[in-house]
Amino acid sequence: MKKIALLFTAILLLCGCNTYAQMKNVRKAKARLNAETPNLVEAREAIEPALRDSVSKTMADTWFTAGKIYYKLFDQEQKKEWNGAKADGELMAQSLAKSYDSFVIADSLDQMPNAKGKVKPKFRKYITEMVKAMQNGFINSGSFYFKKQDYQNAIKMFEYYLDYPNLQFWTEEERMGYQKDTMIDDIQYYCGASASQDGDSETAIKYFSMLLDVYQPQEDMYQFLIYEYGRLKDSVNLLEMYKIGVQKFPENPFYARSLINIYLNKNDLAEALIWIDKAIEEDSLNATLWDVKGRIYESEKNLKEAELCFLRAIEFDPNFEPALGNVGRIYYNVAVEELDRVNAIRDDRVYRREKAKMKAVFEKPLPYMEKAHELNPEERDYIIALRGIYYNLGKGYEKKYEEMDALMKQGR
């Protein structure tokens, strides 16, 4: 029993010696920091063991001293940069972050009640001043890592900036000021951009979602979210983004087409029409939306309604090439089907009579296909259709037929 007691006493003595050594280190760190010519490297080497000791790490003064040392290390490099000298960006960024963390811990310990149950903080005023002074440093540090393509560290630095409204030592007025900081939106954007560059879609979505209907240009955030949801193969949220996009940005055909393609792939044509009609309600003069609606009807084999939609699109925009090509295709396919019917007629007299009518049938798609080809001369479908039209119109169209035939052979 006596041996056990002696061993216990020895352990207590060892612990006491270690704590004494760490407190000595705190004093040494202060001395190196406050010397006429500060030795910040030695100050840092002295304070860091004290931050790990079970006793000294519970003292506000330890962390407060650490915060001052790390800030001085940051400021030393910052001044080099200001003076046009080469600064150690890594040291500057990491020292700034450690200074912030140390001051936050110091403040929380400084608010602990003493043996008499009273709270008598010693460091808050200085801490608030120091933390205010270092805020813009986190933008520079985040930018430093962003340029290095170290995106995770860039996010960490930018997030320090975003954490300012949450710090406990601000007055209510100061807190409101930080919440209204006009830079917050930009920093959130760069957090999202950093995460996206790093392939971290979940973090990117977190930040881009905060900026919906806030950041300008407004549509960018929807595009970014669509990209990230697509990368995650999150079909539920992707569909929701397309639905919102159709209503918010009807002038951009991307959303309507993407949404409709989803429903068409699901063979859910009724739902596709519901959403295209909602988009048309918002922008009834939009040629793109009428063209998309026409393609839905065409996929349902409702060619009459498809034709009306394509013609409506052309009415609103006479140079809208997709609708010109689409209505031209409908008329051309009808002409080809009619030609097949006529060619199947066995009665020569009836055949000649019906054949004579074919010129008017092939003339119907002609102006639409010619205009579509003029607007998009590389589209092979227009070349093929015009070649067939000119061939069947015959006399007077020989040269045009040869031109289309030559173009078609070039594309083989």
pLDDT 10s digits, 360-406: 999 999 999 999 999 999 999 999 999 999 999 999 999 999 999 99
Q: Which residue has the higher pLDDT, 5 or 222?
A: 222
What is the mean pLDDT of the segment spanning 14-33?
Answer: 70
pLDDT level of residue 22 (50, 70, 90 thresholds): low
Q: Per residue in 37-71, pLDDT tens?
A: 989 999 999 999 999 988 889 999 999 999 999 99
Decide if 289 contacts 309 (C-beta within 8 A). Answer: no
- Please count the residues of the chain: 412
Q: What is the mean pLDDT of residues 167-195?
A: 92
The rounded distance, in Å, linking the Cα atoms of 107 and 105 is 5
Predicted confidence at residue 186, as pLDDT, reads: 94
Quote the tokens at residue 297. Answer: 């009807």
Name the residue ranges covered by the structural domains of the chain: 24-111+126-141
Q: How confident is the model at residue 6 (pLDDT cuts 50, 70, 90)?
A: very low
Q: How far apart are CA 89 and CA 67, in angstroms?
A: 18
339: Cβ contacts below 8 Å, ≥ 6 apart:
358, 361, 392
Whether the predicted pLDDT of 292 surpasses 50: yes
* Mean pLDDT on 178-190: 92
pLDDT grade for 312, boundaries at 50, 70 and 90:
very high
38-47 contacts: CB < 8 A, separation 24 or more? 38/72, 40/69, 40/72, 40/73, 40/76, 43/69, 43/72, 44/69, 44/70, 44/73
Give the chain's count of helices (H) and strands (E). Answer: 21, 0
Confidence band of 7 (pLDDT split at 50, 70, 90) = very low
pLDDT of 113 above 50: yes
Please report the pLDDT score of residue 13 as a whole number.
39
Say if CB 231 and CB 201 are below 8 A apart.
yes
Nearest in space to 198 (alpha carbons), one of 161, 160, 221, 231: 231
pTM listed for this prediction? 0.70
| Greatest CA separation for the chain | 131
Residue 15 pLDDT more than 80? no
Residue that has been written with the tokens 């079909």 in this structure = 235
The CA distance from 320 to 233, in Å, is 33
Find the mean pLDDT for residues 219-244: 93
pLDDT at residue number 18: 53
Averaged confidence pLDDT in the chain: 89
Q: Tell me the residue ranges of DSSP E strands in 312-363.
A: none
CA 62-68-70 angle, to 5 degrees, is: 100
State how far the Cα of 71 lies from the Cα of 47, in Å rounded to an integer: 13
Least confident range from 135-149, 168-182, 225-239, 311-325: namely: 168-182
How far from 296 is each of 264, 271, 281, 306, 364, CA to CA, in Å? 8, 11, 17, 8, 22
366-375 vs 380-393: helix crossing angle, rounded to 10: 140
Contact 297, 334 (CB under 8 A): no
C-alpha span between 173 and 132 (Å, rounded): 14
With cut-offs at 50, 70 and 90, classify the pLDDT of residue 282: confident
CB 233 within 8 A of CB 203: no
Q: Tell me what percent of the residues of the chain surpass a pLDDT of 70.
A: 94
Q: Tell which residue, 399, 326, 387, has the closest CA to residue 362.
A: 387
Rounded mean pLDDT of 202-212? 96
Q: Note the Cα 276 to chain centre separation in Å.
A: 26
Q: Which residue has the higher pLDDT, 31 or 158?
A: 158
Q: Contact 84/44 with Cβ under 8 angstroms?
A: no
